[in-house]
């Protein structure tokens, strides 16, 4: 399964989507997931296109523009799930992530919460298979 975060560079939610993806692909579900470069996919890289078309994809977006979801759809990818950091934030309003370059403590906690959502989605999809 491919987990694709947005690459938002200007706000904390973009960094959170990226960190949550690493938490899933390197720790929580490292046997069943991997990530790929969104920019490479959008550039039309053949290998990346093949990966998103042949595998189930979960996108993780930091802002309402939802670049990751939009680009996987445009690439003809098998979009099986879409997670928005802002929705996780609504459930965790006590957290106020501010760091962008480096996540602060609240940002890390948000990333763990997002990672939990992604892992649950991965499990649901594996059960369906």
Partner 1 sequence: MTERPEKKVGIISCSGEECVEGTISRVATRLVLGKLRPNETVTICLPLFLAGGREEREFARDYPTVTVDGCDKMCAKVATERYSGKPASSLVVTDLTKGWQCPKLGSRRKLNDETLTVTRKVSDRIAEEVDEVLRHWV
Where along the sequence are the contacts to partner 1 (CB under 8 A)?
4-10, 14, 18-19, 21-22, 26, 35-40, 42-43, 45, 65, 67-68, 70-71, 74, 100-102
Structural tokens at position 22: 């690493």
Shortest Cβ distance from residue 13 to partner 1 (Å)? 12
User: What angle do helix axes 12-23 and 105-128 make, rounded to 10 degrees?
Assistant: 50
Minimum CB distance to partner 1 smaller for 21 or for 81: 21
Cα separation, 93 vs 86, whole angstroms? 10
Q: What is the DSSP letter of 63?
A: S
**Adjacency order of strands within the sheet including 2-5:** 34-35, 2-5, 56-61, 78-84
Instruction: Tally the residues of the chain.
Output: 129
Minimum distance between the CB of residue 19 and partner 1, rounded to whole angstroms? 7
CB of 6 to partner 1, least distance (A): 6
Q: Which is nearer to partner 1, 15 or 89 (CB)?
A: 15
End-to-end Cα distance, the chain: 12
Nearer to partner 1, 19 or 80 (CB): 19
When the beta carbons of 37 and 124 are compared against partner 1, the nearer one is 37
Least distance from C-beta 45 to partner 1, angstroms? Answer: 7
């Amino acid at each position: 399964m491919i987990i694709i975060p947005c690459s938002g560079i200007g706000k904390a939610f973009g960094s959170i989507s990226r960190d949550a993806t690493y938490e899933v692909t390197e720790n929580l579900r490292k046997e069943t997931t991997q990530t790929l470069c969104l920019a490479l996919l959008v550039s039309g890289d053949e290998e990346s296109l093949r990966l998103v078309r042949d595998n189930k994809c979960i996108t993780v977006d930091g802002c309402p523009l939802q670049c990751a979801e939009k680009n996987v759809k445009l690439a003809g990818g098998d979009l099986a799930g879409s997670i928005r950091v802002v929705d996780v934030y609504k459930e965790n309003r006590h957290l106020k992530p501010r760091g962008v370059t480096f996540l602060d403590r609240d940002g890390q906690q948000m990333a763990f919460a997002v990672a939990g959502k992604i892992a649950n989605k991965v499990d649901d999809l594996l059960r369906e298979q």
